A and B are shown apart, each in its own frame.
Chain A
Amino acid sequence: MSAAPPDNDVLWARGIVKSHQGTPALRGISVGVRDGEVLAITGPRGSGKSTLLGCLSALLPVDEGEVWFNSAPVHTLTRTGRERLRRDRFGFVGSEPHLVPELTARENVALPLLLAGAGHKAAYASAAEWLERLDVADCTARRPGELIQSQRQRIAVARALAPLPPVVFADDPTAPLHRDAQDQVLRILITAARSHQLTLVLATHNPELARFADRTVALTDGRLSSPVAPVPRGTSPVSAGR
C-alpha cells in the first residue's frame, strides 16, 4: 500500500485503470475530491466520465490503481463492503431516473432511508420534505409511470439527497431535462450540497454546466486532458450564498 491521501481530500483516486470486457474506459486517472467542494468532470460522450464516477462511488471495482474514501481504502473492499459504503455514505443520481416503478414518489425517496435503518415515520417525513424542496410535492402519492420525465428526475435527485450522504455523485443528472429545468435542478443540487456541506461530484458533457462547479476536471478518451484547473471561489454563480 502506498502513501495515504492528503488530509483535505475526502475522496482520492490514483492511477485507476478500468476496462469493460476489454474495451479500455479509464487509462490511469488520478484525481482528488476535497471535502465540501463541487467538482465537475467534463468530457464528451465515451470519455469515461460515467466509469470514473462508478469507480469513485464504489459501484465498479477498479482493475488497477487505488481509491480512498476518508483515509480508508475502497479498492480493497469486498462487494458487501462496497454495498454498505454506497448505502451509508454515497448518493447517486444517474442520467436516467431509474426509479422503482411500483413504488410511489414518496416511497422511492424514503427507500434509501429505510434501507439504512431509519424509522418509518422519519423516513416518510424527510421524503415529503425533499419532494417539496424539489417542487414535486404534488407527485407524492403518484407512481413514476404517471409522471413526466422531468418530475421523475427531480424525484431521483430527492432520493439521492434525502439521506444527506457525505458525497453525492451526479452522472449527467440534467441529460433528460430541458434547459430551464436543467438550471433549476442543478441549482437545487448544488445549493443542497453547499448548505449541508456535502461533497458533490458532477459529471457532465455540457461544459456550460461546469460553471456551477468549484473545480473542473476534463477527461478525453479515458485520460485527464488538462491539469486540474482550480476556479477561484466566488466566480461560480451559486457559491455566493455560502
Chain B
Amino acid sequence: MLYLRLARGYRIGDLGRWLLTATAAAAVAAFLLRALGRALSEPAGVSVERLFWCLPPLAAVGWFAAVAARALPAARPERITGLTAAGAGPTSIRTLIAGETALACALGSGLTLLAFLVLRNDVAGASLAPEVGLGVPLPVSAPITLLLLVPLVAGGSAAAAFPLTDALPGRSELPHRNGFGALRLALPTGLVLVGLSLELYGLRPGADQDGRPIGLPAGLGATSDAALVGWTFAALGLALLTAPLLAWGGRLLALGRPTPLRLLAGRGLTAEADRLGTPLAVLALALATVLTAIRYWAHRSGTVEAVPAVEATLIVCCAAASVLIRAAHIRSSRREVTAALVQLGTAPRLLLGAAVLRTAAAGTVLLVSGGLTAALAAGVLR
C-alpha cells in the first residue's frame, strides 16, 4: 500500500526509471527461464554455462538500479526530507528505496513467468518447445528461485548504493576534490601498459603457431590466452583512466586565461569527473565490446544470433540510461550553484553553452576510451 501511495507521486522521470527497471528485469527473467527450459528439455546439456550467460544482463540491471538509487535524494529532496520528518531513519529510507526497486523487478519478472507458463501450453508451436521445456514437468521451486534473483540483486545494489549521509536533509554533496592521487593514475596506466604489451606479444608474427586455445562464446571464435588477458588488463586500465581523462579534459578547457564560458565548463567538468567517470567507463566498455562483437559476426557469418543480440542491447541500454541518470543527478545536485549563477546575472545561453562544452568533452573521452578498448578487442577477435 505504501508503495502504491508513493507511486501516486511519481513524475515522468520516476516513471521512466521504474518502467526501465521493470523491462530490464523482465528481459533478464526471460534469459533465466530460457536457461531453465533448456535445462529441462536437454538434461545432459551445458546448463551451467547458459546460466552463466545470464550474469552480464543481471549485472547491468543491478548497475542501473544502483545509479538510479544514488540519484534519488538529489532528484527528489522533498521526498527524503518528508520521509525523515515523518520519522523514517536513513536505514528505513534505504529499505524503502530497495523495496521500490525490487517491486519493479518482481513485477517485470512475474510478467515474464506468466508468458513462460502460457508458452508452455504449446501456443507457439514446436519452434519454442526446447526453450520452454515443453512436455517436461516443471518443478515449482526452480522458476521461483530463479526469479527471486533479479529483485534481490537489483534491490540489494540499490540499497548498497543509496547515499546514507545525503539522506538527511541539509546535507549537500559538493565536489571538493581537484585532482587524483598518484595511485589512481599509476595503477590504471600500469594496467594499460601491461595489457598492451601482453596483447602485442599475443599478436606477434608467428604467434599463431602456439595455437589459439581459448574458445570464445557466442560464436566469437578462438583466441590466445596472452591476447585475452592483455585485453582484459588494458580494458580495465582504460576504464579506470576515464575519470582522470575527464578531469584533464576539464583542465584543458580552462587553460590559460579562460572566458567565463570556458572557466565554468572546464572547472565543472574537472569537479564532476569522479561522479561522471564511472558510468561513462561502463558505457564505453559495453559499447566497445558489443560493437566489436557485432563487427566480427557481420564479417564471419553474416548473421547475428538473437539471444546474444538481445543481451547486448539490454546491457548497452542499461549502461546508457545509467549515464543519463548520472548526468541528471549531477544537474540536480548543482541546482543551488545554478541558481547562484543566475542571480549573478549569468545568461542562460552561457550556462547552456557550458553544458554543451562539457557534454562534448565527455563525448570525446568516451570516444577515446571506448575506441581504444574496441581496437584492442578487435585484435583479440582477429
Task: Tell me the A residues contacting B by CB distance below 8 Å.
Answer: 59, 80, 83-88, 90, 92, 94, 98-103, 107, 111-112, 114-115, 120, 143-146, 159
- By secondary structure, the B interface counts as helix
Residue B257 lies at the interface, judged by CB distance under 8 Å to chain A: yes
Q: Are A101 and B345 in contact (CB under 8 A)?
A: no
Q: Are B263 and A83 in contact (CB under 8 A)?
A: no
Q: Are A115 and B346 in contact (CB under 8 A)?
A: yes
Measured CB to CB, the closest approach of chain B to A76, in angstroms, equals: 18
Measured CB to CB, the closest approach of chain A to B98, in angstroms, equals: 30
B336, B345, B346: the one within 8 Å of A98 (CB): B336
**C-alpha spacing A86/B268, complex, angstroms:** 23
**C-alpha spacing A94/B343, complex, angstroms:** 10
Q: Are A86 and B344 in contact (CB under 8 A)?
A: yes
**C-alpha spacing A144/B343, complex, angstroms:** 18
Among the listed stretches B59-67, B110-118, B172-180, which one makes contact with chain A, having 4 or more residues with CB under 8 Å of it? B172-180
**C-alpha spacing A80/B345, complex, angstroms:** 9
Q: Are B260 and A114 in contact (CB under 8 A)?
A: yes
Q: Are A120 and B257 in contact (CB under 8 A)?
A: yes
Q: Are A115 and B271 in contact (CB under 8 A)?
A: no
B259, B260, B271, B343: the one within 8 Å of A101 (CB): B271
**C-alpha spacing A101/B176, complex, angstroms:** 7
Q: Are B178 and A98 in contact (CB under 8 A)?
A: no
Q: Are B270 and A102 in contact (CB under 8 A)?
A: yes
* CB within 8 Å: A-B pair count: 68
**C-alpha spacing A102/B271, complex, angstroms:** 6
Residues of A within 8 A of B257 (CB): 120
Given contacts A83-B347, A115-B260, A120-B257, contact A98 B339 (CB under 8 A): yes
Given contacts A84-B345, A111-B260, contact A145 B174 (CB under 8 A): yes
Task: Tell me the B residues contacting A by CB distance below 8 Å.
Answer: 174-176, 178, 257, 259-260, 263-264, 267-268, 270-271, 336-337, 339-348, 350
Residues of A within 8 A of B339 (CB): 98
Known pairs A100-B340, A144-B174. 19 more at Cβ < 8 A? Answer: A84-B345, A86-B343, A86-B345, A87-B344, A87-B345, A92-B343, A98-B336, A99-B340, A100-B267, A100-B337, A101-B174, A102-B175, A111-B260, A111-B344, A112-B345, A114-B260, A114-B263, A115-B344, A143-B178
**C-alpha spacing A130/B128, complex, angstroms:** 76
Residues of A within 8 A of B268 (CB): 102
Most buried by A among B257, B339, B348: B257
Residues of A within 8 A of B342 (CB): 83
Question: Residue on A with the closest CB to B341?
Answer: A100
A-B contact pairs, 11 of them (CB 8 A): A83-B345, A83-B347, A87-B344, A94-B343, A98-B339, A101-B174, A102-B271, A107-B263, A114-B259, A115-B350, A143-B176
Residues of B within 8 A of A99 (CB): 340
Given contacts A98-B337, A101-B174, A101-B271, contact A87 B263 (CB under 8 A): no
Measured CB to CB, the closest approach of chain B to A157, in angstroms, equals: 14
**C-alpha spacing A143/B176, complex, angstroms:** 8
Residues of A within 8 A of B345 (CB): 83-88, 90, 112, 115
Please provide the 5 A-B residue pairs with the shortest distance between their CB atoms, ordered closest to farther. Answer: A87-B345, A145-B176, A98-B340, A102-B271, A86-B345
